[in-house]
A and B are shown apart, each in its own frame.
Chain A
Amino acid sequence: MIDPGTPAPEFTLRREDGSPFTQSDLQGQISILVFYPFAFSPVCTDQLNLYEEFLADLQERGATLYGVSCDSIYSQKAFREKLGVTIEQLSDFEPKGETCRAFDVYHPGGFPQRAIVIIDPDAVVSWGYQAQSPAELPGANLIFDGLAATAPVQAR
């Protein structure tokens, strides 16, 4: 996983409508990238459902949380709608896993590691956590620990 203190690498992910989400979208906000292995898989389901409950608390801290996987935008949208969550999905479909590799969270099995990367408003990685295995579900508390280690938007 990418080290804290490292500027976010160049990358292009796709939003649900197919438009690009790049390094420049990280500027001026705290971004939380939640890399998850597969849409519709059991642990990812519990993970997004749990984090959904804390979006307002994240917003209060100037932070936006995104789900990132190598699934296509259509699969991600269907997954999000099935769960009934609002977490914006970003697709690393083609070239497959390129952004995951840039953040050093690509699993040899061909999917993202379960990892959380927090990027500060200057697009520098401030905190990261990679689960011991894709089966581990990191608690939402860890995200708030990570935010405590991230300079807030208004302080800049």
Chain B
Amino acid sequence: MTELGSAPVPEPSSEDHVRGPATAALVIEYADFECPFCATLTLRLAGRPLRHVFRHFPVRSSHPRAWPAACAAEAAGLQGRFWEMHDLLFADQGRLEDPHLWERARALELEIERFDADRRSEQVVARVRRDFESGVRAGVVTTPALFAGGKRLPATYAGQA
């Protein structure tokens, strides 16, 4: 049985998607690609001197395309293009159907067949679910949710170190 009781937000690990200077202030974000507030936050944090960890928090019945989008980002990640796909997904949330995902994969010059197999694979689904569960255990209920130093940051956080 998967452990799902309360637990602190996990420290970043080699499994995480991380970008930004190694010495910058670290922020862990739980988000989903269909959430408009997450897209706004992404814009707000862009260009700030931060070390940004992205974790998935897709809630199917709130955002039906959040899961497919999260899996697409992971599949792109398996070809080394997670953050590029992350940015392309947030850039146009009105277009998250399968053909739009393929379009983005082509724009990133991914191997399409591999991308398509990967995004439906158990491995990728398990990877997204692991992020989701770690967020739930840390008490995340809605997106976006930001943490720094193990503590929850206010929703108005705009990247001040």
Contacts and interface: CB of A to CB of B under 8 A. Distances in A.
**A and B bound?**
yes
A86 B64 CA distance: 15
Interface stretch (A22-30, A49-57, A103-111): A49-57
Contacts of B112: none
B5 interface: yes
A57 B140 CA distance: 17
Chain B binding site: helix, strand, loop or mixed by DSSP?
loop
A153 interface: no
A102 interface: no
A139 B5 CA distance: 10
Interface in A9-63: 45-50, 52-54, 57, 60-61
Contact of B6 (A84, A85, A145): A145
A139 B136 contact: yes
Contacts of B141: 46-47, 50, 137-140
Contacts of B5: 141, 144-145, 148
A57 B4 contact: yes
B6 A52 contact: no
B89 to A, nearest CB: 20
A52 to B, nearest CB: 5
A46 B143 CA distance: 10
A50 B133 CA distance: 11
Interface string A136-156: 011111101100100000000
A78 interface: no
Contacts of B136: 50, 54, 139-141
Given A141-B136, A141-B137, A144-B4, A52 B61 contact: yes
B1 interface: yes
Nearest to A54: B4
B34 to A, nearest CB: 12
Which of A49, A138, A141, A148: most chain B CB closer than 10 A? A141
A83 B64 CA distance: 11
Contacts of A85: 61
Interface in B12-68: 59-62, 64
B142 A52 contact: no
B139 interface: yes
A67 to B, nearest CB: 13
B132 A53 contact: yes
Given A57-B2, A142-B6, A144-B5, A49 B140 contact: no
15 contacts: A46-B141, A47-B141, A49-B60, A49-B61, A53-B132, A54-B4, A61-B1, A137-B141, A137-B142, A139-B139, A139-B140, A140-B141, A144-B5, A144-B6, A145-B5
Given A45-B62, A84-B60, A139-B141, 15 more contacts: A46-B141, A47-B141, A50-B59, A50-B136, A52-B60, A54-B4, A137-B141, A138-B141, A139-B6, A139-B136, A139-B140, A140-B141, A141-B136, A145-B5, A148-B5
The 5 closest A-B pairs by CB, nearest first: A144-B4, A139-B139, A49-B61, A144-B5, A137-B141
